[in-house]
């Protein structure tokens, strides 16, 4: 059940309505039932995996707390490490098996092939369970937080199961921290449900999320899919446009999911962490990672980069830690070398940025470049976007070689006239559709600009405006989604134009 499905439009109001009317004490049980139903609507068997992950981390939490009773410090520390290792190995083992088994096998075969040894046959097909990377990381954060003493182990298994499976953020984040969400779930009976401002605020976040997804992301996807799948047919102009559109497609797609998740949780009285904070207004790659998929990048920072030593052990070690973190982040996004290269590029950008920082400073001083002005900020944003978008090509291309060929065509097939001869409208979106996409992007940039400038989300900004303006925006968004959203039956207009009797 995805958020932009008719099923969810029925599911969500029903869940919220029942949640509002049932006794306070069983609210979390109802949400657990709803969450498992939500997850099982993809495949009922997946529930076993999430239940297994829940049980392992739940028990590890209890064991970690019990280990505190061991009086001998050394023994206690060693025991706790073993428990954490057990939880990580089993959870990451499940994740590895379902997500990376095929990839690992193909790598193994490539290595064996290079050595002239026979190919290992694939013994079975592995289907990737929806959201496994998200909930596994969320569950592991709990183990770590209990280990670090930041949180007491949760005794109530059902409440803990809800923490792992909470339906708004279950399949695509934000990856919540146990210190935040588990606490809120523990106080669910205290939530004052009827709060007009909170509910309308949550709904308007959802509405903006649906606009980003259905009007912008899904429309750009038509162009992007066509361009990336048939890149050999296009020149540089369309290919660059395809890459730029992909940057916004993935932002709107991913960002919208987070917004709908945060909004729907807000309607029910929960606060989820922010996941995307106007990432394309970043002025450096480092800043980009503070604004892009925040819940994942902070997860990697807290549970991988810092335990590796972070930036505390010298420059070289810092760079190595950065590369490890970003390569792991790349691999987390998908089981292929394209994602590893994408992650590696971001690691490399940051290392080069750090190495060149003194040179950059000297250069700007020598050339007396004015740095405290809008034009300089804009230039930084554009350069950052270009670097990010360059890496996105590897993320989106069907393979590493396809990404290289895509970039090769951009270099070798310059065709600026494509902007004027209508070629850009012949790559998946007709002119009116293209214009809708561009208008959607302008609206997105305007909303992000407001957010960047005023530091508030659309819902908070609207609350500062008068009623007619608020309602105007809501009605505009609803009508835009209904008219310009990509949904419904893909009817073939030509079939209708022909007046067939």
Picking from 433, 429, 459, 463, the residue whose alpha carbon sits closest to that of residue 447 is 459
b/e map 291-314, b = 16+ CB within 10 Å: bbbbbbbbbbebbebeebebeeee
From residue 261, alpha-carbon distances to 3, 144, 173, 372, 434 in Å are 9, 24, 8, 37, 28
In angstroms, what CA-CA distances link 177 with 163, 184, 403, 455? 9, 11, 35, 23
| Minimum CB distance to another protein smaller for 359 or for 497 | 497
Q: Please answer whether residues 350 and 285 qualify as being in contact, where contact means their C-beta atoms are separated by less than 8 angstroms.
A: yes
Query: CA-CA distance, 346 to 378, in Å (whole number)?
Result: 21
Q: Is residue 365 within 8 Å of 353, Cβ to Cβ?
A: no
Pick the closer one to another protein by CB: 203 or 405: 203
How many helices and strands in the chain, by DSSP H and E?
21, 0
Whole-number minimum distance, CB 483 to another protein, in Å? 5
- Provide the H-helix boundaries in 166-217: 178-186, 196-210
CA quadruple 274, 278, 280, 283: dihedral positive or negative?
A: negative
Tokens for 380, please give them.
Answer: 């930084």
| Nearest distance, CB of residue 192 and another protein, angstroms | 11
Q: What is the CA radius of gyration of the chain?
A: 25
Cβ at position 450, least distance to another protein in Å: 22
**Sign of the four-CA dihedral 325, 327, 330, 336:** negative
Strands (DSSP E) found in 220-351: none
Contact 119, 27 (CB under 8 A): no
- Cα atoms in the 13 Å half-sphere on the side-chain side of 191: 29
**82-105 core/surface letters (b: 16 or more CB in 10 A; e: else):** ebbeebbeebeebbeebbbbebeb
- Nearer Cβ to another protein, position 225 or 433? 433
Which of the following is catalytic: 189, 333, 346, 413? 333
Residue 124 or 496: the one with the smaller Cβ distance to another protein is 496
Structure tokens at 163: 């923490």
Rule CB under 8 A: which residues touch another protein?
Answer: 6, 194, 196, 430, 432-433, 471, 474-475, 478-479, 482-485, 487-489, 491-493, 495-496, 499-501
Residues 330 and 103: their CA atoms lie apart, in Å, by 14
Asked whether 339 and 330 are in contact (CB, 8 A), the reply is yes
CB 185 within 8 A of CB 28: yes
Phi-psi region of 154 (alpha: psi -120 to 50; beta: other; left: phi over 0): beta
**Cα separation, 285 vs 305, whole angstroms:** 17
Closer of 225 and 302 to another protein (Cβ) = 225
Whether 333 is catalytic is: yes
Q: Would you say 177 and 296 are in contact if contact means Cβ atoms under 8 Å apart?
A: no
Which residues are the active-site residues? 333
């Amino acid at each position: 059940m995805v958020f932009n499905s008719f099923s969810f439009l029925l599911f969500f109001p029903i869940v919220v309505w029942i949640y509002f009317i049932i006794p306070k004490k069983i609210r979390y049980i109802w949400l657990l039932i709803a969450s498992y139903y939500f997850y099982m609507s993809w495949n009922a068997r997946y529930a076993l995996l999430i239940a297994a992950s829940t049980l392992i981390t739940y028990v590890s939490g209890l064991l970690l707390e019990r280990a505190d009773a061991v009086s001998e410090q050394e023994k206690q520390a060693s025991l706790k490490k073993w428990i954490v290792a057990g939880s990580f190995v089993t959870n990451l083992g499940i994740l590895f098996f379902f997500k990376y088994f095929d990839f690992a096998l193909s790598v193994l075969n490539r290595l064996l092939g290079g050595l002239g040894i026979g190919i290992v046959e694939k013994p079975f097909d592995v289907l990737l369970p929806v959201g496994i990377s998200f909930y596994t990381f969320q569950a592991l954060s709990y183990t770590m937080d209990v280990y670090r003493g930041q949180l007491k182990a949760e005794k109530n298994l059902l409440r803990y199961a809800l923490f792992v499976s909470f339906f708004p953020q279950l399949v695509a984040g934000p990856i919540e921290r146990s210190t935040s969400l588990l606490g809120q779930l523990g106080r669910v009976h205290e939530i004052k449900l009827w709060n007009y401002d909170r509910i309308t605020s949550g709904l308007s976040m959802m509405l903006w999320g649906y606009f980003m997804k259905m009007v912008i992301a899904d429309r750009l996807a038509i162009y992007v899919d066509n361009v990336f799948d048939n890149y050999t047919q296009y020149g540089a102009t369309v290919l660059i446009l395809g890459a730029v559109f992909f940057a916004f497609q993935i932002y709107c797609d991913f960002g919208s999911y987070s917004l709908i998740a945060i909004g729907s949780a807000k309607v029910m009285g929960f606060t989820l962490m922010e996941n995307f904070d106007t990432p394309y207004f970043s002025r450096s790659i480092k800043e980009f990672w503070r604004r892009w998929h925040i819940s994942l990048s902070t997860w990697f920072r807290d549970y991988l980069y810092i335990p590796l030593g972070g930036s505390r052990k010298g420059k070289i070690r810092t760079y190595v830690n950065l590369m490890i973190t970003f390569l792991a982040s790349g691999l987390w996004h998908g089981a292929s070398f394209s994602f590893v290269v994408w992650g590696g590029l971001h690691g490399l950008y940051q290392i080069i940025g750090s190495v060149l920082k003194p040179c950059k400073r000297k250069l700007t001083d020598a050339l007396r470049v004015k740095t405290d002005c809008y034009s300089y900020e804009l230039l930084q944003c554009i350069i950052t976007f270009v670097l990010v978008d360059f890496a996105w090509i590897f993320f989106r291309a069907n393979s590493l070689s396809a990404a290289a060929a895509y970039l090769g065509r951009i270099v070798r097939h310059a065709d600026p006239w494509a902007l004027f001869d209508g070629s850009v409208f012949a790559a998946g979106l007709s002119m009116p559709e293209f214009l809708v996409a561009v208008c959607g992007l302008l609206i997105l940039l305007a909303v992000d600009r407001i957010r960047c400038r005023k530091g508030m989300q659309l819902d908070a900004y609207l609350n500062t405006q008068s009623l007619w303006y608020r309602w105007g925006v809501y009605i505009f968004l609803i009508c835009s989604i209904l008219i310009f959203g990509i949904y419904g039956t893909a009817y073939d207009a030509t079939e209708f134009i022909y007046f067939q009797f």
